[in-house]
Structure 1
Amino acid sequence: MNRSSVKELLQSDKFLHEVHVKGWVRTFRSNRFIALNDGSTINNIQCVVDFENTNEALLKRITTSAAVSITGTLVESQGKGQKVEINVTNLEILGDSNPDEYPIQPKKHSLEFLRENAHLRVRTNTFSAVMRVRSKLSFAVHKYFQDNGFNYVNTPIITGSDAEGAGEMFKVTNFEANKAPLNEEGQIDYKQDFFGKETNLTVSGQLEAETYAMALGKVYTFGPTFRAENSNTTRHLAEFWMIEPEVAFMDLDGNMDLSEDFIKSVLGYVLEHCEDDLAFLDQRLTQEEKSKPQAQRSDMSLLEKLRFVVDNNFKRVSYTEAIDILRNSKPNKKKKFQFPINEWGADLQSEHERFLVEKHFKCPVILFDYPADIKAFYMRLNEDGKTVRAMDVLFPGIGEIVGGAQREERLDVLKEKMAALNIDEKELWWYLDTRKFGTAIHSGFGLGFERLVLFTTGMSNIRDVIPFPRTPQNAEF
């Protein structure tokens, strides 16, 4: 007999026919009622065991997280909460679970405890919901770009360039520790290393994606990136996934259009296809908010935040205008900002970004034309000589979620900017070549996938939206 999923059975209206299902026991009550889940949905299906005709030794093996195979008759449920249940005619234990040793008991556990058991935490309602939403978001990302004529490009994980210029990169080497050969200057001789030069794990696929955009027109990357930043905040990971589209012949206005349309599309997709999981996560967040002081509570539920983004036009505001708004705002004048805004050129913090979105404009915001001094070398310099064609998309509750720019396509200007930052032209000769042979206006942006999952699920710590988080002093599992 073909196996059905729990999700299929819960949606079925064909009663009194034999079904076959496999899954894990969530709870077993009164030696009679099994709550069974197979990961296809957040909801369990109730399986009713005839305990009088079931071997007692078998009943004792029906414990939380045991894997079982069940055959029975699908009938209309006699209880509340679901319309169907299974009257069990045959039950087989596929994998025992010792209740005295299994750490994820059917009770509330702290998120810290569950991180310590990351290999099992996905069996809880919260993490199974988060990971199903993550999966659907991932599919929605590819679907959007494929539907809109983009080519998927797999950029290198091992790279010899630092796209961000921050230097916080993990080194890749074949040298043994403390045995690296030295050159005549007493420095490590990377010419003898595996790749013949100093290499690292990538922080971004953008530079390589730009080269492909200048041949394929519209491309995107979606892959792992790494940052050796010794940060233990709720918003940082050492290993994370980045979404980075690059488009030839597109200026900053087109880039802002693309980012808004993309975000609305993928969030709209999960709203349509993850209804049960989002309803659960919405309820979970509401309960979490009740435990916070009144001043720290969000004004919107999770579903309201998602609708806030999908249903509102994004307000486009220049950095200069935003600084004026922030400088004259009540929180700034009353010194309630942790980082006061005093002058043009300040690097905006999350508190400033959230004020603009949640309090001032009351809609998602795209800031553009940032000071050149606080942005990367590859962003196109404006005619004023002091700002660049950069843009950031700001969301409620999270601040910046997307960062992008029109790229500097002028060879002479790009060389000047690289020289000012002591970036060696020899290291990026191939990047400069694209400005020699058929240069053109082009733009793109980067979106940290985990930031998007964090926003979509309402979780408060980025370590809880990736299967196995990599952070300082933590590479378990």
Structure 2
Amino acid sequence: MQTKRSKIVDLLQAEPPLAEVRVKGWVRTIRVGKQVTFIELNDGSCMGNLQVIVAPETPDYEAITHTTTGSALEVVGELVASPAKGQRVELKAATVAIIGLADPSFPLQKKRHGFEFLREQAHLRARTNTFGAVFRVRSVLAQAIHEFFAQRGFVYVHTPIITASDTEGAGEMFRVTTLDVGAPPRTEAGAVDDNQDFFAKPTYLTVSGQLNAETFAMGLSDVYTFGPTFRAENSNTSRHVAEFWMIEPEMAWADLDDDCELAEAFVKHLLRAALERAGEDLSFFDKRIDKGLIARLEQVAAADFARITYTEAVELLQKSGQKFEYPVAWGKNLQAEHERYITETAIGRPTFVVDYPKEIKAFYMRRNDDQKTVAAMDLLVPKIGELIGGSQREERLDVLEQIIAEDPGLSAEDYWWYLDTRRFGTAPHAGFGLGFERLVMYATGMENIRDVLPFPRTPRHCEF
């Protein structure tokens, strides 16, 4: 009976000697010497490679010496202590089987490749140190998200990907249709006849699961969504993609203070999980990508988050004496440079900014008694600014109906079901949204959102 495959991450921590070890992985480098051949093998389970020692008496030695970078191998041998500096163990090969010989044109040779080039090789870039680390950290964070909510009794809800509602009211949505776009059916007036489409109305890929999650919070109290969302925004910045993932909890019986408390606990839990479970990968990022990363993550995970109002934030910025690229004025959105100044200089720790002007926030946010602001919050963190956005939701039917009636971009007919949740047993509730990719960027120090998604979707680019 064959021995089972051992993962390299386990072997690098094992105590030698170990006989009959079987590993499978891809060749990072191969060096053929006069007396022996050295192969660096990686299986993606960790950053480190396992050095394989192949002696000339090994079966098929000549073929092994012609193995190319990127080839898939199966090696059986003895794990022994390594006399070489910088590694504890190595594998003395008894047999080496070439499972998949890589063509010599394999594009990821032993040299540094730019991120732009690697985006063109997204189907192969998981084999590099940087992207192997990115996606291991992403996996740790995703599991920690479910862990956090499970510990608190939240119910995981799968909200629709196809929707007829625009949660944010921005209108930048992908249309979903089965109509022949070259020759769609027409009404007598010449307009496209949406009644003949699959859903008999215009439908789109969702920009958020929030509104659906709110309906479940009105029956299950504490729920969350974690799924893909889409924006048809024609933007090519380092922070925008067309397809991304969102985490959106909703809590019944909760106000804005409860929302902030959950968000603070959530961020701390996720950063601690990354620090505890992805230490090797974070050390790589700290050394190669973003010096000071680990110290910053530890500082945020241990901090007591501050809270200030939007009005106080504007006054703080106006009195700072700083020259900002974007002017500061009450009623305008805070920009990343303003947010970073607050967290890095003025207050020096993560900060919740609450009670924003109603004109710059979404329709569903609860109106405050001053009639000028809403019970909204943004969590600002050092280096990037906003990480989380949330609010107490407007639970009063009459107020919500008035807001929708006053907004030319909204229709009560489209939101009849949403209004029903206020009509039939309304209750205070609150929630927030966290863009998963922004979290992964923050945890790894990667500066382009395209580099924390397996296959990024951007304007005019949908490869792979």
TM-score, with structure 2 as normaliser:
0.97
Structure 2 counterpart of 1:472: 459
1:447 to 420, 431, 434: 434
CA distance in 2, matches of 1:91, 1:38: 15
In the TM superposition, 1:67-216 aligns within 5 A as: 67-99=72-104, 101-216=105-220
Residue identity in the other structure for 1:453: V
1:183 CA displacement: 2.4
1:61 CA displacement: 3.4
Structure 2 counterpart of 1:34: 39
2:5 to 3, 13, 17: 3
Structure 1 counterpart of 2:319: 328
Deviations 1:110-156 (A, max 9, x none): 10000000000110000000000001100000110111100000000
Alignment partner of 1:46 is 2:51:
yes
CA distance in 1, matches of 2:461, 2:307: 40
**Any idea what SS the aligned residue of 2:423 has?**
coil
In the TM superposition, 1:46-445 aligns within 5 A as: 46-51=51-56, 53=58, 55-99=60-104, 101-286=105-290, 301-331=292-322, 336-341=323-328, 343-422=329-408, 423-445=410-432
Q: For the Cα contact (< 8 Å) 1:237–1:471, is it kept in 2?
A: yes
1:16 CA displacement: 4.2
Deviations 1:42-68 (A, max 9, x none): 101111110354545312332211100
CA distance in 1, matches of 2:60, 2:210: 62
Q: For the Cα contact (< 8 Å) 1:61–1:96, is it kept in 2?
A: no
Q: Please give the root-mean-square deviation of Cα atoms over the aligned residues, in Å.
A: 1.1
Identity of aligned residues (%): 55
CA distance in 2, matches of 1:387, 1:173: 38
**Structure 1 pair 219–16 and aligned structure 2 pair: CA distance change class (3 A):** closer
**Any idea what SS the aligned residue of 1:452 has?**
helix
**Any idea what SS the aligned residue of 2:457 has?**
coil
1:177 CA displacement: 1.5
Q: For the Cα contact (< 8 Å) 1:251–1:406, is it kept in 2?
A: yes
CA distance in 2, matches of 1:209, 1:467: 26
CA distance in 2, matches of 1:161, 1:243: 19
**Any idea what SS the aligned residue of 1:434 has?**
helix
Unaligned runs of 5+ in 1: 287-299
CA distance in 2, matches of 1:394, 1:6: 39
**Any idea what SS the aligned residue of 1:435 has?**
helix
Q: For the Cα contact (< 8 Å) 2:387–2:439, is it kept in 1?
A: yes
CA distance in 1, matches of 2:314, 2:406: 26
1:4 CA displacement: 0.5
1:237 CA displacement: 0.6
CA distance in 1, matches of 2:242, 2:407: 25
Residue identity in the other structure for 1:121: R
Deviations 1:409-462 (A, max 9, x none): 000000111111121111010000000111000000000000000000100100
CA distance in 2, matches of 1:144, 1:53: 50
**Any idea what SS the aligned residue of 1:89 has?**
strand
Deviations 1:224-252 (A, max 9, x none): 00000000000001000000000000100
TM-score, with structure 1 as normaliser:
0.94
Structure 1 counterpart of 2:26: 24
Unaligned runs of 5+ in 2: none
